[in-house]
Structure 1
Amino acid sequence: MTSLKHTLSAAILGAFFAVPAVANPANVTFVTEGIINAGMAVELDDNCNEVSVRMIRGLNFLQGLKSHLRNLGYSNADIDAFIDNDAEKDRLEAIARQRLSDLGVVVGDASTYCAVARGQIAQDTQIGQLLR
């Protein structure tokens, strides 16, 4: 289970990041927001023992983002190239961590991660739907 979790984490935080110049910003926003939310779910899971990422749901969610990109005309090669964009990965991770902070997470304080996770689950947000 742990290796599946790490696979999901790597896929969430390492995939789909570069965007061709001709992309529709609204569509890219849909994908990047999905990645940010998935990254937030993984971060909550990593720091709160009371919740866990729903692996199958998470993988299906990522496949949905990939399908969305294919429907926009991106090739598998384009999508695979996204994985290698470390600068964009770092940018999206920073956004995810800032949003968690804005929600009340304090780095090193597991209780704050758990409180945010429970709140996201209760509100049935995209982040909450990726957690149990």
Structure 2
Amino acid sequence: MSYAKKFAIGLALMIPAIAEAKPPLREVKQIDNELYYIAVAKEISDYCPSISGRKLKAINVMWGLRSEANSLGYSDQEIRDYVESDAEKDRMRAKGEAYLASNGVTYENPNSFCTLGRKEIDRNSAIGVYLRAN
């Protein structure tokens, strides 16, 4: 058997191992962080009547994140499983609520969402870019 054929067979045998070596999407920071920013911005816009979410921007970014995950070797099913996972939703919610609380936001005081939202917009932060003051 030629060296090229042995190499091709060896490579074919390694591909499943390489595919399994991908980290969970929650550990791919450029994807997980951006989804977190979008989620926090949505929560702010849901509770503050004077701030709206920049939904088209968020949708466009999410399509880009899907393409990026695909280019990293994640299938559409793996992406869907990550986004729809109850455990991941709970993790993201806990992280977001901790951020909100650390910034003085409470669900009993909707104006606190507005205060944080305006601060994020003014700073043009990673969260603020998904918000618009009405």
TM tier, smaller: 0.7 to 0.9
1:25 Cα deviation from its structure 2 partner:
8.0
Take 1:92 and 1:21, find their aligned partners in 2: how far apart are those partners?
24
* TM-score, normalised with respect to structure 2: 0.76
Instruction: Determine if the alignment matches structure 1 residue 64 to structure 2 residue 31.
Output: no
Take 2:46 and 2:84, find their aligned partners in 1: how far apart are those partners?
23
**Who is 1:120 aligned against?**
120
**Who is 1:86 aligned against?**
86
Task: Give the percent of matched residue pairs that are identical in Structure 1 and Structure 2.
Answer: 30
**Who is 2:22 aligned against?**
22
Query: Could you say what secondary structure the match of 2:62 adopts?
Result: helix
Take 1:35 and 1:24, find their aligned partners in 2: how far apart are those partners?
15
Unpaired runs of 5+ in structure 2? 1-19
Structure with the higher strand share, 1 or 2: 2
Q: Which amino acid aligns with 2:69?
A: L
Take 1:102 and 1:96, find their aligned partners in 2: how far apart are those partners?
10
Instruction: Determine if the alignment matches structure 1 residue 101 to structure 2 residue 113.
Output: no
Larger radius of gyration: 2
1:47 Cα deviation from its structure 2 partner:
0.6
Take 1:83 and 1:120, find their aligned partners in 2: how far apart are those partners?
25
Unpaired runs of 5+ in structure 1? 1-19
Query: Could you say what secondary structure the match of 1:83 adopts?
Result: helix
Query: Could you say what secondary structure the match of 2:38 adopts?
Result: helix
Take 2:26 and 2:39, find their aligned partners in 1: how far apart are those partners?
20
Q: How does 1:16-55 map to 2 (within 5 A)?
A: 22-23=22-23, 28-55=28-55
Take 1:85 and 1:26, find their aligned partners in 2: how far apart are those partners?
11
Take 1:74 and 1:25, find their aligned partners in 2: how far apart are those partners?
8
1:83 Cα deviation from its structure 2 partner:
3.3
Q: Which amino acid aligns with 1:68?
A: E
